[in-house]
Amino acid sequence: MSVSPSPLTPFPLPVSMVDPFGRHVSYLRVSVTDRCDFRCVYCMSEHMTFLPKVDLLSLEELDRLCTAFVHKGVRKLRITGGEPLVRRNIMWLFRALSRHLGTGALEELTLTTNGSQLPKFAQELADCGVKRINVSLDTLDADRFKAITRWGELAQVAAGLDAAAKAGLQVKINAVALKGVNEFEIVDLVRFAHDRGADLTLIETMPLGDIDGDRTDQYLPLSIVRARLMDEFTLEDIPYRTGGPARYVRVKETGGRLGFITPMTHNFCESCNRVRLTCTGTLYMCLGQDDAADLRSVLRASTDDAALSRAIDEAISRKPKGHDFIIDRRSKKPAVARHMSVTGG
């Protein structure tokens, strides 16, 4: 691809974006594709309708938008999806964005992945300045892995974890806690992650998008998981934060860190520092609300980044106080219609 990154200095020095509730927005998550090589049961239905390819921003446009955010004070950029590593030529975007690490404008460039493409890309990611990645892994059992991801192979992800280790990438493993599926495997997941020197973060299922199953059947409050883990381990609260919503403990017996992301049982909105950009240039100011800003039309209307900067400011001024997720038998519909793969997990 013969595109070049947008120039370095169209903006004045970084300013910080502050929302109406005084929260500094310094973290941008970018879903670079809504497509994926897996079909996880809590994330997608088996037969998904994906966005038409013509609606997608080009990699060059994604670079221009991300750069605008960096110039407005974003310090941490996470590339996600869908499965970001299945987007064609995605390494071009990583290479382009890595220049902001070089200037110090960006503190961290990172990635959330299902791990399937890491054997191919781990080394190149490390070469682009990526230091830490999140890999999603809900089970260590090959059959259960197939049942959860529908299309995935555990061996491929295991090879991906090895490739990441070889490339020197620090890995955090994310696991969604699923009632009746992996709930009695969490102790094993803790040991597996900590044996590899990886943190483990547990996530509650969130009501995003229609899936084939019933979410009340999947939802497992992490308060229950935590109580059970305490039969096996000593959990010590620690102040460690990664800029995300996870609350961490140290597992005394393994020495490793364990995070809990509890959007359902404990709302973490008061410290939310992030906004999310989709692959069509729609900016969501909250994962759990529908309000959004169309940055693609602003981007395409002019090459002048000042208009973009104003549109971003206007969007941030509408960042809501929080979400109100609820999963129970009475509310069968998802809180928001779009899937996690669209907004970016």
CB 29 within 8 A of CB 274: yes
Of 59 and 178, nearer to ligand SAM (C-beta) is: 178
CA atoms within 13 A on the CB side of 221: 10
Indicate the Cα dihedral angle 182, 186, 187, 193, nearest 10°.
120
Work out whether 118 is an interface residue with ligand SAM (CB under 6 A).
no
Site string for ligand SF4, 64-103 (x = CB under 6 A): -----------------xxx--------------------
Calpha distance 273→31 (Å, rounded): 17
Q: Which parts of 296-335 interact with ligand SF4 (CB under 6 A)?
A: none
- Taking CB under 6 A as the criterion, the residue among 119, 256, 288, 345 binding ligand SAM is 345
CA distances from 254 to 86, 169, 223, 230, 278 (A): 34, 21, 21, 13, 38
> What's the closest the beta carbon of residue 195 comes to ligand SAM, in angstroms?
20
Of 191 and 276, nearer to ligand SF4 (C-beta) is: 276
Work out whether 145 is an interface residue with ligand SF4 (CB under 6 A).
no
Work out whether 341 is an interface residue with ligand SAM (CB under 6 A).
yes
Work out whether 244 is an interface residue with ligand SF4 (CB under 6 A).
no
Binding partner at 87 among ligand SF4, ligand SAM, none, C-beta below 5 to 8 Å by kind: none
Q: Which residues pair with 134 in a beta bridge?
A: 112, 172
- Taking CB under 6 A as the criterion, the residue among 25, 28, 30, 43 binding ligand SF4 is 43
Binding residues for ligand SAM, total number by CB under 6 A: 19
Calpha distance 254→95 (Å, rounded): 36
- Taking CB under 6 A as the criterion, the residue among 33, 67, 110, 114 binding ligand SF4 is 114
Binding partner at 39 among ligand SF4, ligand SAM, none, C-beta below 5 to 8 Å by kind: ligand SF4
Q: Which residues contact 25 (CB under 8 A, 6 or more apart)?
A: 16, 17, 18, 19, 73, 74, 273, 274, 275, 316, 319
Site string for ligand SAM, 278-317 (x = CB under 6 A): ----------------------------------------
Calpha distance 137→194 (Å, rounded): 14
* Cα–Cα nearest to 83, from 115, 49, 36, 153: 36
Q: How far is CA 223 from the centre of its chain?
A: 22
Work out whether 44 is an interface residue with ligand SF4 (CB under 6 A).
yes
Indicate the Cα dihedral angle 331, 336, 337, 342, nearest 10°.
-140
Work out whether 112 is an interface residue with ligand SAM (CB under 6 A).
yes
The span of 31-39, 84-92, 232-240, 275-283 binding ligand SF4 (CB under 6 A) equals 31-39
Q: Which residues contact 127 (CB under 8 A, 6 or more apart)?
A: none
H or E element, residue 52:
none
The span of 107-115, 119-127, 245-253, 294-302 binding ligand SAM (CB under 6 A) equals 107-115
Work out whether 200 is an interface residue with ligand SF4 (CB under 6 A).
no
Of 282 and 341, nearer to ligand SF4 (C-beta) is: 341
| E-state strands within 86-159 | 108-113, 132-136
| Secondary structure (3-state) at 99 | helix
Q: Which parts of 63-92 interact with ligand SAM (CB under 6 A)?
A: 80-81, 83
The token pair at 64 is 């221009």
Work out whether 149 is an interface residue with ligand SAM (CB under 6 A).
no
Binding site for ligand SAM (CB under 6 A): 36, 42-43, 80-81, 83, 112-114, 136, 174, 176, 203, 205-206, 208, 340-341, 345
